[in-house]
Amino acid sequence: MASYNLDETFFLSSAIGYVEESPFIKVNKKVKYPTWQMSSNVGGIHTSVLNRIKAKINADADFDYFLNSVAKLGMMAGLFCYSEPRLLINKAQKVSNKKTTATATLFRFVKQHYKKRWLLLLLLNLLVYEKRFPLIAFSYALFFKSRRKIKFDLDTIPVQSNLAIAVEKTIDVVIPTIGRKQYLYNVLQDLASQTHLPQKVIIVEQNPNPEISSELDYLTNQSWPFTIKHIFTHQVGACNSRNLALAEVDSEWSFMADDDIRFENSFFEKAIAKAIQYGVSTFTTSCLQPNEIQHYKTIHQSGIFGSGNSFVKKTALESVCFDKALEFGYGEDTDFGMQLRHWGYDVIYFPDLKITHLKAPIGGFRIPIKKQWESETIQPKPSPTIMYMKMKHFSQEQINSYKLVLFLKLLRQEALRDYLGFYKNFRQKWNKSVYWANQLR
């Protein structure tokens, strides 16, 4: 399903950011961008999908509302939804049927497509940040029935892309590692047993001790059915290591892996087949710990990106890199995925491609790194790296909502008699986080 909106704002306005934290809200309209926010200006949907949903959703008097409802529910069921600028030749033209979405319509949409708590949070956000208290619109929405339990059966619709997405079918593997000799060896064994072998495995080994050399002796004293590019560095950091490795990718595809995962010998063969079937340039896999239950079983447009379990076509790597401002912090995976979407590369989740993540006990930040803000009297909250990532990619409404939800979560832990002191302290920590996020830029 695809459409293109000629107006500056979408049908539901930017206020929808108060209730959804996903990458699908702040849309880059210059590229094909994943979003359920549809427009009646121009668009299309596959007939097979319409045949599945016509008995599920009644046609609404407002066509835009109907389109957004179909896309919102459909995306959860595996419908690929996009803002597609190539639908129009002349995007400078103006439309004459522009209308401002009523606040009541916004509340109705939230009531029908989100959990109940978001209806109240929308009201609180409008009160706090826009000094509005639309109680009538809030009450009006309560009369509408939720559509969240409506299920579309789209799995039986055959899918076969005609895009030439995998011509050479070659794969390079990117693995940053530090202090996990045996775990990495097991990963290499899994790679060596693949029915579709990688061309090259790029290993970036880190060790901060300038007196120590590589411990990965098996890279040279054993024979491997692929080329190994071994980079040894005393500079630690996952972002730097992955960037060093990505610069060495020559194959049509790159597989970004962790050094403590396991997978079956047909993993690459199945991955290339999925890429060809769905015509996608970026996709991520199931990556669960042993005995962890898999909850997401539908192929869908993912709001996340995993730097240890994803395939990215080389052409998509030309404009992106891991942001070193996020080194030793949090959010570098999310940031990388947001960069891909910004340049027009959707991230698809394939639940049938399975990786076991062993979560090695020596994982995580094995080298203590002193943060720039650790000496501050008032410690920033949230982490400045998280704040930096949100400021970089998300709308102001999404950031404001995140702030309000964080405030309410922390407030639950405080005694009400000290509310004023808590509020002052929270504001200081938030402002300190904003300050350091700007320094990270």
**Helix, strand or coil, per DSSP, at residue 187:** helix
Strand 171-177 relative to strand 82-83, pairing:
unpaired
Q: For position 122, what pLDDT does the model report?
A: 98
Token digits for 39?
Answer: 């427009």
Dihedral (C-alpha) 8, 108, 19, 91: value to the nearest 10 degrees?
-20
- Please give the backbone phi and psi of residue 305, each rounded to the nearest 5 degrees, phi first: -140, 130
Q: For position 55, what pLDDT does the model report?
A: 83
State if pTM tops 0.85.
yes
d(CA 306, CA 106): 32
DSSP 317: G
Full DSSP string of 342-398:
HTT---EEEEEEEEEE---TT-S--S----TTTT-SS--SS-HHHHHHHHHHS-HHH
CB 261, CB 187: distance < 8 Å:
yes
**Helix, strand or coil, per DSSP, at residue 3:** strand
CA 313 to chain centre: 17
Each residue of 256-274: pLDDT tens digit? 999 999 999 999 999 999 9
362 — pLDDT class (breaks 50, 70, 90): low
Each residue of 203-213: pLDDT tens digit? 999 998 888 89
d(CA 314, CA 18): 35
d(CA 291, CA 271): 23
Each residue of 44-98: pLDDT tens digit? 999 999 988 888 888 888 999 999 999 999 999 999 999 999 999 887 766 655 5
Mean per-residue pLDDT for 124-136?
97
- If you search the block for the tokens 């993993």, which residue do you land on? 267
CB 235, CB 205: distance < 8 Å:
no
Token digits for 347?
Answer: 């991230």
Mean per-residue pLDDT for 206-227?
93
**Helix, strand or coil, per DSSP, at residue 435:** helix
Taking the alpha carbons of 366, 368, 369, 373 in that order, is the dihedral positive or negative?
positive
- Please give the backbone phi and psi of residue 82, each rounded to the nearest 5 degrees, phi first: -140, 150
Each residue of 272-326: pLDDT tens digit? 999 999 999 999 999 999 999 999 999 999 999 999 999 999 999 999 999 999 9
- Angle at alpha carbon of residue 155, lines to 152 and 158, rounded to 5°: 125
Residue 421's contacts (CB-CB under 8 Å, 6 or more residues apart) are none
Q: For position 98, what pLDDT does the model report?
A: 54
From 358, 315, 302, 42, select the one nearest 184 (Cα to Cα): 358
Dihedral (C-alpha) 233, 244, 324, 287: value to the nearest 10 degrees?
-100
From 388, 433, 427, 435, select the one nearest 411 (Cα to Cα): 427
136 — pLDDT class (breaks 50, 70, 90): very high
